[in-house]
Amino acid sequence: MPRRSWVAEANPPTNSQSPVDPKSRRSMTLSTRSALRPTAADMRALGIDLGSKRIGVAVSDSEGSVATPIEVVKRQGDRQREHRELAALASEWEAEIVVVGVPYNMDGSLGPAAKKYLREATALGETLDIEVVAYDERLTTVSAERFLMQQEMKADARRRVVDKVAAAVMLQSWLDAGMPRV
């Protein structure tokens, strides 16, 4: 078992504080956890890009520096089954945190889609026994689509992988931002 370094959270939110202010923060914690958290140097994260038809999944390396697309979970109208499948992936990849992309509006506000996916992220957090955080994923699918087009992938091939690539783009952004939780 690798040695772990732990850091205490400097200013945990109080009950009176809002968990997220979309205009000033890019992520928020969706589960209650101890103030002791592993440092970035020893944590694997699972990134999830929720969509209406597919869920893209990516994973970071154990050092928390590189995100890789791994899976696309097809939506079939059974959210509990989908969440169990995501939980199995988190376990398989030994993830210690799950980062769920939330599509904020361009002005930083929460639109209907962002609210819907925040509710689903909260429900996913109740299914998992690891920390779940939400992170701003504006334009990740657009970035993923552009990247795949530059690779000269045909439309059918792009459609099969764009969701997991978008999850990797979002997760990489979260890693590069220092793995924020508030």
Per domain, the residue ranges of the chain are 45-177
Quote the CA–CA distance of 46 and 125 in Å, as a whole number: 13
Nearest one of 140, 116, 111, 115 to 49, comparing CA atoms: 140
3-state percent breakdown (helix, strand, coil) of the chain, nearest 5: 35, 25, 40
Q: Is the dihedral of CA 172, 149, 57, 50 positive or negative?
A: positive
- CATH 3.30.110.30 for domain 45-177: no
Which tokens is 160 given?
Answer: 């099969």
Nearest one of 85, 88, 86, 120 to 103, comparing CA atoms: 120
- pLDDT the model gives residue 139: 67
Question: Cβ distance 73 to 164 under 8 Å?
Answer: no
The residue ranges of the chain whose pLDDT is under 70 are: 1-41, 139, 142, 158, 182
Q: Is the pTM of this model over 0.75?
A: no
Tens-digit pLDDT profile for residues 155-166: 777 677 788 989
